[in-house]
Structure 1
Amino acid sequence: MADTQTEARRIGDVIRQARLLQRRSQAEVAAELGYHQSKVSRLESGRGTEDVRVLREISCALRIPPHHLGLAAASDINHPEPEAEDMHRRTLLAAGIAALATPTTATVTAAHNDLVHALLPGPTAASTGPTPDSGQLRNQLADARRLFSTCDYTQLESLLPGLIGQLREAISGSPGSADLSGLLATAYQTSASLLLKQSDPGNAWLAVGRAMAEAERSGDPVVLASSVRVHAHVLAREHHATQAITLVRHTADQLAGAYDQRSPEYLAALGLLLLRGATAASTSGDRSAAQDFLTEAEDVARYVSLDRPEAWANFCPTNVALHGLSAAVAFGDAGIALKAARPLMRRHIPVPERRAALWIEAARAYSQQGRLSDGYQALRIAESCAAQDIRRPAVRELVADMAARDRRRTLPELHHFSRQLGVPA
C-alpha cells in the first residue's frame, strides 16, 4: 500500500510540474479535458491517479510521455500486431458532411469501410434482389441488436451495411413512412454504438447525425430517446460531458412521469437514457448529477424488467447497479466499486455484453487498488463472457497499462495476455 501511495504522489508531482512549466492553470487543463478543476487538483495531490483513462488524457493534454505516468507507450496500443482487431480510423465531420480521413492504422477492414460508406449521404448500392418488407427488415434489425448484445462485433459489422442499404431503399419506395424511419434510426444507433466500441468517434458522429434525423422523422419518443442516448455517449467520449448531461436532462424531463401507464419499451429507453447521463456525469467528476441520474433510473426500473438475451433495451435494476459500479470506478472509489460488484458477480446476467462489462469494471477497480493479479483474473472471466469485447481498444489499453505497472514482472501470465492482445507493455 505504501508503494502505491508513493507512486501516486510521484505521478501527481509529474502532472503538476508539467502544467506549471507550460504556465497553465488547473482550470485551463480541466476545461480542455471536460473535467471540473477539482479533478485536476485531485490528480496533482496523488488522488485518482489509478484511472488510466484519465492519465492518458492528461498525458496527451500536457504532452507528458506516457511512461512518466506509469503507462504503456502509446505506440504499443495504437499499432497492434496484425491479428489484433483494432479497426481504429479517424474522420472529420463538419456542417453535417463527413470527409473521410486516411486510416491511422493498416488494420481497417473491408467490412469497416463498407459500414462507413453506408453511413454517407447519397445513393446506396443497388440491391440484387427484391426489397424485404417491413416485417423482414424488423427481424434483420433484431438480429443486429442481438449480435451487439452478444458482442459478435465482426458479424455485426458485416450485417449492418446491407441492412442500412435495404432500409434506405425501402424508405425511398415509401417516403414519409414513420415506421421505416424508426427502424433506420435504430440501425444507425447500432452503428454508432459499434463504432464507439471500436474507438472510432469520428464515424460515430456521422452515424449519430443520421440516427437523430431519422428519429425526428419517425416521431417515436422511444426511438428519439435511444438516439439521444447514443448522441450523449459520443459527446461524453469526446470530452463534451457537460453538453451530454444537458442533452440527457432536457430529453429525460420531457419523457418522465406516468410510469405506470408507459410501455416497457418506453420505460427501457428512458431508463437507459438516464444511465447514459450517469455515465457522462461520472466521467466529468460530477457526483451530484451522477447520483441524481442513478436515483431516477432506479425509480424507472421499478416498472420494467427487460433483461433477456434477445432484448436490445436490457434495462432493469441489475443494469442500474452495473452503472452505479461503473460510476464508483470513474470516481476512483475502488473499494465502493468492488463492494457493489460482489453481489452482481453472483447474479445471473443473461446479456454477455453486460456480464463482460461487470468484470471489466471490476478489473479497473482491482487495478486502482494495485491488485493486478485479481484484475487479470477478472479480465479473463470477462473474456470468457465476450471474447471480442476484450479486444476493444479501451480494454487493450487497460491491459497494457496493468502490464506496464508490473515492473518486476511478477505476473508472467498478465504479460503473456498483453502480448496475445497485441499490446505488450
Structure 2
Amino acid sequence: MADLLGVERSTVVRWENAETDPQPWHRTRIASALGVTLEQLDDMLVDVSVAAHRGQAMGDDTRSPASGATRPELLDSLRAFLTTYLPTHLPEPSLTLLDVRRAVGRVHSRYQRASYTSAARLLPDVLGQATNLTSNAAGMHRSSAFRLLAAAYIAASKLAAKVGDADTALLTADRASTAARIAEDQALTAVAAYQVACGLMRLPGRAAEAEHVVRSSIERLAASGSPVGPDLLSARGALLLLAAVMAAGRGSAKEASQLLQEAEGLAAMLGADRNRLWTGFGPTNVVIHAVSAAVRAGNAGQALEIGTLLDTSRLPAVLVGRRAQVHVDLAAAALMSSGDRSVSVLHLLEAERVAAEMVHANVQARTLLLELLAKERRVGTPGLRALAERAGLLA
C-alpha cells in the first residue's frame, strides 16, 4: 500500500492504528487501491478509529479481547465459591491467623510468579479460610482477619483481570474494598480501589468511572495526613502508575508524563524496588509502566527505546510475571511500529520462557497472538503457530 501511494510504510501504519487520518488527496488513491468507493473508505476509517480509541481508553491489558482470547475456565472454582452465599460447610476453625496469613501470601506469590492455574486452584480454599477467620475473630484480631480477607480478594481480582474476566475482577475487588474498610486499613483500601478500577476498565463504557476511582483514591491519600509509611507510598505509587497509563490511553501524553514523574518521586522515597502489599512498586516498576504508557499512547518507538534501557533484574525475585509482562508490551510495540511479526513473536517467546502462563493465560498476550495469526498471509512467521498451539489457540 505504501509503495502504491508513494508514502512511507510508517504512514500507512499510523492510518491503520487511527493515529492520523489520510489527507484528502490520498483518499481517492487509497479507495482505488482497495477497490472501494470513497463512501466505503470513510466508513472503514471510522470503524478503525472507534476500535483503536476503545482499546486505548481501556489502558493496560484492557483492549476488548478477541473471541477465544480469554481462559474463563481457569476461574470455574473461584466463581463457584463466589456464588455460594450460604456454604454448606466452612473450613475448620482451628486455623490460626498465622496459618491464613501464610495461605494468602502463597496465593499472591503464585500469582506474581505467573502460576495462574495454581493460584486459581488455591483461591477458593484460601478465601473460605479467610472468611471463616473473620467469623470467629474478635477484638484486635478482627481487624487482622479482615485485612487478610481483603488481601485474598485482591489476589482473586488480579487473577480474574489477568485472564480477562472483568465481571469477576470487579466483584472480587468490591469485596476486597469492603473488607479493607472494615479493617480500617487505608493502604489496603487504596490497593482494592486500584483493582476496582482494573475491573471497570475491562467493561465497555466504564473507562471514565475507572479513572474517577483512581483519581479520587489518589486525592484521598494525598489529603489524609496519615504518616507516610512504605505501604501507603506503594499504594499511592501504584495508583499513580495506573493513572498514567489511563492518561496515555486517552491521548494526554503530557499528563501521563507528569504522573509518571510523581510516581518516580515516590519510588525514590521508597528507596528500592519493593513489593509492599504485593504492588511491586519501586523505581523499576515506574519504568515498566512508562513502556506500557507509551504503548497505550501508540508511541511504539518510545516504548521500544525505553525497553532497551530497562533492567528487570532489580525487581524482587517473586515478580516473575512482571518481568514477562514487559515482553508482552514490547511485542505489541514491535508490531505497532513496523508491523514486524517476527520481532513481536520473539518478544512473546521470551515472555513464555520467563513465565509460560503469562502468554498462555494472559488475555493481552492471547489477544496479540490472535492478531498476529490474523495478519499471516502466504508466509508463516517462525515460531508463531507453535506458540499459539501451546497457548491453546490452535487445534
Deviations 1:356-409 (A, max 9, x none): 011111111111122221111111111111111101232112022123223232
* Corresponding residue number in structure 2 for 1:387: 356
TM-score when normalising by structure 2: 0.80
From 177, 196, 210, give the equivalent of 2:175.
210
Shift of 1:346: 6.9
312-321 or 131-140, which deviates more: 131-140
Which amino acid in the other structure matches residue 388 of structure 1? E
From 367, 371, 375, give the equivalent of 2:335.
367
Unaligned residue ranges in structure 1 (runs of 5+) = 40-50, 58-73, 79-85, 89-107
Shift of 1:125: 4.5
* Corresponding residue number in structure 2 for 1:45: none
Deviations 1:265-312 (A, max 9, x none): 221111112112122222333324322321221111111156368972
User: Which ranges of 4 or more aligned residues in structure 1 deviate by more than 3 Å?
Assistant: 1-14, 16-22, 24-27, 29-36, 51-54, 127-131, 257-261, 305-311, 345-350
Q: What is the distance in 2 between the residues matched to 1:287 and 1:152?
A: 34
325-334 or 368-377, which deviates more: 368-377
> Aligned to 1:123, what secondary structure does the other structure show?
coil
Residues 177, 192 of structure 2: 8 Å contact kept: yes
* Corresponding residue number in structure 1 for 2:34: none
Question: How much is the aligned-residue C-alpha RMSD, in angstroms?
Answer: 3.6
Deviations 1:148-181 (A, max 9, x none): 1101111111111111111111111226722211
From 368, 378, 397, give the equivalent of 2:347.
378
Q: What is the distance in 1 between the residues matched to 2:61 and 2:87?
A: 41
Q: What is the distance in 2 between the residues matched to 1:129 and 1:382?
A: 40
Q: What is the distance in 2 between the residues matched to 1:297 and 1:10?
A: 33
* Corresponding residue number in structure 1 for 2:5: none
Residues 149, 309 of structure 1: 8 Å contact kept: no
Q: Does the alignment pair 1:355 with 2:339?
A: no
User: Cα gap change, 1:10/1:157 in structure 2, threshold over 3 Å: closer, same or farther?
Assistant: closer
Shift of 1:3: 4.6
* Corresponding residue number in structure 2 for 1:223: 188
> Aligned to 2:278, what secondary structure does the other structure show?
coil
Q: Does the alignment pair 1:184 with 2:152?
A: no
Which amino acid in the other structure matches residue 168 of structure 2? N
Residues 241, 283 of structure 1: 8 Å contact kept: no
Deviations 1:201-254 (A, max 9, x none): 111121122112112111111111100110111122224222222221211122
User: Cα gap change, 1:257/1:343 in structure 2, threshold over 3 Å: closer, same or farther?
Assistant: farther
Q: What is the distance in 1 between the residues matched to 2:41 and 2:228?
A: 51
Shift of 1:419: 3.1
Written as runs of structure 1 = structure 2, the 5 A alignment for 1:111-260 is 112-120=75-83, 122-127=85-90, 129-174=92-137, 177-238=142-203, 239-256=205-222
Which amino acid in the other structure matches residue 332 of structure 1? G
* Corresponding residue number in structure 2 for 1:396: 366
Q: What is the distance in 2 between the residues matched to 1:8 and 1:292?
A: 25
> Aligned to 1:412, what secondary structure does the other structure show?
coil
TM-score when normalising by structure 1: 0.75
Identity %: 28
Residues 177, 193 of structure 2: 8 Å contact kept: yes
Q: What is the distance in 1 between the residues matched to 2:176 and 2:256?
A: 26
From 265, 279, 289, give the equivalent of 1:299.
265
User: Cα gap change, 1:415/1:34 in structure 2, threshold over 3 Å: closer, same or farther?
Assistant: closer
Q: What is the distance in 1 between the residues matched to 2:48 and 2:332?
A: 26
Residues 259, 267 of structure 1: 8 Å contact kept: no
Shift of 1:114: 2.2
Which amino acid in the other structure matches residue 366 of structure 2? R
> Aligned to 1:293, what secondary structure does the other structure show?
helix
Deviations 1:5-63 (A, max 9, x none): 4465468689x9679659x8999x59994978xx9xxxxxxxxxxx9986x68xxxxxx
Residues 34, 240 of structure 1: 8 Å contact kept: no
Residues 125, 165 of structure 1: 8 Å contact kept: no
Residues 306, 313 of structure 1: 8 Å contact kept: no
Q: What is the distance in 2 between the residues matched to 1:34 and 1:422?
A: 24
Unaligned residue ranges in structure 2 (runs of 5+) = 3-7, 23-30, 32-37
Higher helix share: 2
